[in-house]
């Protein structure tokens, strides 16, 4: 083989390795996004049963244990629901507490979830909003800026406005921001998550930073923070592909919720840790109200949804909200009689 041929071959090998590394890096980023999304479900329930860390007096009801420099959505977010909307009465009269959860990889929101907690019925509904949801914002041009995850830019109010707008003007009372780097600490603080692993889980990604090495044996065990992260990021080996991974993550979430609800007074220490690691505008007064309503809540009383959408098959791969299906989802969550919604819609037309 000539020197020129050897150089061409070496260049081809380098190019292949470069493309392979880029593909693995992309997979790794996607896995982290799924991981953040799954943990947010756990975090949502944690917030719902948050035990206040301060003395419970009227004087500190408005105190924000997460910091006093956070935007207060209830003061800043305008009412977006149209008075002619079939949801106007339900949104304005409902006693639900809606918390916007954001898994942030600055300046973008990799995960967006809205947690609707019904204090009366001790029921939690979680709506996942795809990060690639198309959402036009005046003054922002370019394909990337057309995605809802670009709205954040360091201010939770921006994302709250966009999410409320996409979801028919649904009210958003509070927000919480979490980064996946802090997940291990909180999982360890609750004592780990009991799991029955169906089969050995093995996966290696030397290109991740730091390199990812997953080796979890089958059987009943308690997953600590680091192992929980690996379990949630595991994506190979499921017969049903991504659906299998989603099912496995849901099992983990249910177990994590059950573990958290069993802590009793130990929740105080978890609350202290959450105040250190998270950004939120939830006040002590709101936490007390939520905690009281959540006493005795069952981990089975949780329903998850994904905002209905139509995917775009070409770049930039937007997902477009499906208005009619979103209305059906909200009708179910807010328990609005179907005939009432239909009549209102007919009158509006």
Domain extents for the chain?
23-189+263-348
Highest mean pLDDT among 32-46, 128-142, 293-307: 128-142
The mean pLDDT of 156-182, rounded to a whole number, is 90
Q: How far apart are CA 52 and CA 65, in angstroms?
A: 8
Lowest model confidence (mean pLDDT) among 74-83, 111-120, 260-269: 260-269
11 band by pLDDT with thresholds 50, 70 and 90: low
pLDDT at 71 over 90: no
In words, the CATH class of domain 23-189+263-348 is alpha beta
Residue 171 confidence (pLDDT) above 90: yes
Please give the distance of CA 330 from its chain centroid, rounded to a whole number: 18
Least confident of 64-78, 115-129, 204-218: 64-78
State yes or no: pLDDT of 302 exceeds 50: yes
- Against a cut of 0.75, is the pTM above it? no
Round to whole Å and give the CA distance between 91 and 244.
Answer: 35
The pLDDT value given to residue 245:
67
Task: Point out the least confidently predicted range of 57-61, 162-166, 192-196, 216-220.
Answer: 57-61
Residue 168 clears pLDDT 90, i.e. is over it? yes
Mean pLDDT value across residues 111-137: 87
**Confidence at residue 340, expressed as pLDDT on a 0 to 100 scale:** 47
CA distance 329 to 229: 31
Q: Decide if pLDDT at 159 tops 60.
A: yes
Distance separating the N- and C-terminal Cα atoms of the chain: 77
Residue 273, pLDDT score? 65
Q: What is the chain's mean pLDDT, rounded?
A: 76
Q: What is the pLDDT of residue 150?
A: 96
Instruction: Give the best-scoring range by mean pLDDT among 96-105, 111-120, 130-139.
Output: 130-139
Q: How far is CA 128 from the centre of its chain?
A: 6
Q: Which residue has the higher pLDDT, 90 or 4?
A: 90
**Residue keyed to tokens 């780990």:** 192
């Amino acid at each position: 083989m000539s020197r020129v041929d050897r150089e061409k071959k070496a260049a081809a090998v380098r190019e292949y390795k470069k493309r392979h590394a880029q593909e693995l890096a992309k997979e790794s980023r996607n896995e982290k996004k799924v991981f953040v999304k799954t943990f947010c479900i756990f975090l949502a329930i944690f917030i719902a049963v948050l035990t206040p860390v301060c003395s419970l007096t009227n004087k500190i009801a408005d105190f924000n244990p997460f910091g006093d420099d956070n935007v207060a959505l209830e003061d800043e977010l305008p009412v977006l629901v149209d008075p002619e909307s079939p949801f106007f009465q339900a949104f304005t009269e409902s006693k639900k507490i809606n918390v916007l959860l954001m898994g942030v990889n600055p300046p973008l929101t990799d995960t967006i979830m809205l947690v609707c907690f019904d204090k009366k019925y001790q029921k939690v509904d979680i709506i996942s909003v795809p990060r690639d949801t198309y959402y036009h914002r005046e003054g922002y041009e370019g394909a990337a800026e057309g995605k809802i995850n670009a709205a954040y830019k360091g201010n939770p109010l921006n994302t709250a406005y966009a999410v409320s707008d996409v979801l028919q003007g649904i009210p958003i009372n509070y927000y919480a921001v979490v980064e996946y780097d802090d997940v291990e600490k909180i999982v360890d603080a609750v004592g780990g998550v009991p799991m029955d692993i169906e089969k050995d889980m093995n996966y290696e990604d030397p290109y991740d930073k730091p390199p990812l090495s997953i080796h979890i044996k089958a059987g009943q065990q308690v997953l600590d923070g680091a192992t929980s992260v690996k379990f949630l990021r595991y994506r190979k080996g499921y017969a049903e592909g991504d659906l299998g991974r989603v099912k496995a993550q849901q099992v983990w979430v249910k177990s994590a919720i059950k573990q958290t609800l069993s802590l009793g007074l130990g929740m105080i220490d978890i609350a202290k840790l959450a105040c250190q690691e998270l950004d939120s505008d939830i006040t002590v007064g709101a936490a007390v109200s939520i905690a009281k309503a959540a006493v005795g809540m069952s981990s089975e009383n949780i329903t998850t949804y994904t905002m209905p959408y139509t995917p775009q098959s070409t770049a930039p791969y937007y997902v477009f909200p499906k208005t009619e299906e979103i209305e059906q989802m909200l009708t179910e969550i807010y328990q609005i009689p179907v005939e009432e919604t239909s009549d209102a819609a007919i009158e509006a037309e």
